[in-house]
């Protein structure tokens, strides 16, 4: 299946779901620094996927997917901290971690296929 739009990329769809979940969960958080950082990191995942796709070259797409993977790691790190600070319930944190890890795996597969197929 040829991907016509970035919205068709499963990793972008998963990143968007994670971002929405984080925004909804953090709505009432008064730790503005923490809230802003985890929100920015989650938005960065989906936006880097979109931006890379729109650049229309495999080299740039890979570069932006690597940046998106880095932001997935940042989100996961913040989720661990957020659990310790009591900002997330354990079940919530585990769900969001799983979403971030799935997004990262999808990006890794995409990067590998770009590397293999030129």
Locate 97 and state its tokens. 């971690």
Q: Could you tell me the pTM of the whole model?
A: 0.92
Model confidence band, residue 118 (pLDDT cutoffs 50, 70, 90): low
Within-domain flag for 65? yes
The residue assigned the tokens 């909804």 is: 24
Within-domain flag for 81? yes
Inform me whether the pLDDT recorded for 109 exceeds 60.
yes
Residue 95, class by beta-carbon neighbours within 10 Å (0-12 exposed, 13-18 middle, 19+ buried)? middle
What's residue 107's pLDDT? Answer: 96
- Domain with 83 in it: 6-116
CATH number of the domain bearing residue 58: 1.20.1440.60
What's residue 58's pLDDT? Answer: 87
Mean pLDDT of the chain: 95
Model confidence band, residue 93 (pLDDT cutoffs 50, 70, 90): very high
Domains of the chain: total? 1
For residues 69 and 60, the answer to whether their CB atoms sit within 8 Å is no
Within-domain flag for 104? yes
Within-domain flag for 51? yes
What's residue 1's pLDDT? Answer: 63
């Amino acid at each position: 299946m040829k991907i016509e739009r970035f919205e068709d990329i499963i990793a972008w769809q998963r990143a968007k779901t994670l971002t929405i979940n984080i925004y909804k969960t953090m709505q009432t958080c008064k730790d503005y620094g923490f809230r802003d950082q985890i929100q920015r990191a989650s938005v960065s995942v989906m936006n880097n996927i979109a931006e890379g796709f729109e650049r229309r070259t495999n080299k740039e797409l890979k570069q932006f997917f690597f940046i998106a993977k880095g932001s997935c790691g940042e989100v996961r790190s913040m989720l661990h901290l957020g659990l310790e600070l009591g900002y997330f319930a354990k079940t919530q944190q585990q769900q969001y971690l799983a979403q971030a890890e799935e997004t990262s795996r999808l990006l890794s597969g995409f990067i590998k296929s770009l590397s293999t197929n030129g």
